[in-house]
Chain A
């Protein structure tokens, strides 16, 4: 099963894509992905129910979040109200160590994204302040990152033994599915996604 693990809809301040249009695009362009995760900036969208769209287009549509930490941006999968009570998702200065600790405690998982980008990615911060224990996965392929930024992510993963995911970081419809993550088995919900990620048995793929 292939999922684009990093996409934004109009629920994000800089997102310009409607979820329905992502679905239409995937099907019309016959993209080789089975679904995507909406990782809205600094929030978790409890309100929207995408199941009717998922059924209509036979796609897996899951929800996560992209939070901002002292080591750059981080995708969070398996978000619950309890996790949001423990972490202020709206803050732009969350300590990464705390995000890792709280996600672990609340059956979620944190994945630093676009690590090769300056400031918003963890590479430069690691160079300055060293690694943060607890990171197991980073985003290896990001649809919005430049070649050298993805290369920096690969180097970071190699040096630290991190596993890697892929995500398009789409903000407009036509950017969905540029990068994704291939899982050996089915993923059918947020809990199942967390489990699949924790198994570390997956592979980042790109069509950039």
Chain B
């Protein structure tokens, strides 16, 4: 974890990636904190009964994971905006990887734009988005 200034950042720079914890126990902890009591997030069997391949990670958890990646990259980053598109379900207990890359640097406004993706082990994009941050 480190602080960054605008001049430390380069266009095209990759953010350090990490493997998010999508275990049932951790997703359940998130779901409880977010007051999401639908058992499609916390019970594989119940999710299958709802027509899903298994329990799924709430979209807002995927989004929060992407934000965490930004803060792991620059702990002083102030997020101004994040816009995520949930393309396909993120399955609980399956490995996923997040990635981020700097795609715009507005020197005048000192704003940085980052492309964000969350992919499954097959390399399929499940969630994608963009974030706008300032480094203070």
A interface, CB within 8 angstroms of B: 14, 16-18, 21, 24-25, 28-29, 144, 146, 171-175
Contacts and interface: CB of A to CB of B under 8 A. Distances in A.
Interface of A (DSSP majority class): loop
Given A25-B103, A144-B125, A172 B115 contact: yes
A172 B101 CA distance: 11
B75 to A, nearest CB: 23
A16 B130 CA distance: 7
Nearest to A173: B103
Given A24-B12, A173-B103, A174-B117, 9 more contacts: A16-B129, A21-B104, A25-B12, A28-B11, A144-B125, A146-B122, A171-B85, A171-B128, A172-B115
A174 B101 contact: yes
Q: Which of A24, A173, A174, A175 has the most CB of B within 10 A?
A: A174
Contacts of B130: 16, 172
Contacts, number: 39
B130 to A, nearest CB: 5
B115 A24 contact: no
A173 B130 CA distance: 9
A18 B115 CA distance: 12
B3 interface: no
A14 B101 CA distance: 19
Given A16-B129, A24-B11, A146 B124 contact: yes
A174 B101 CA distance: 7
A14 B84 CA distance: 10
A16 B129 CA distance: 8
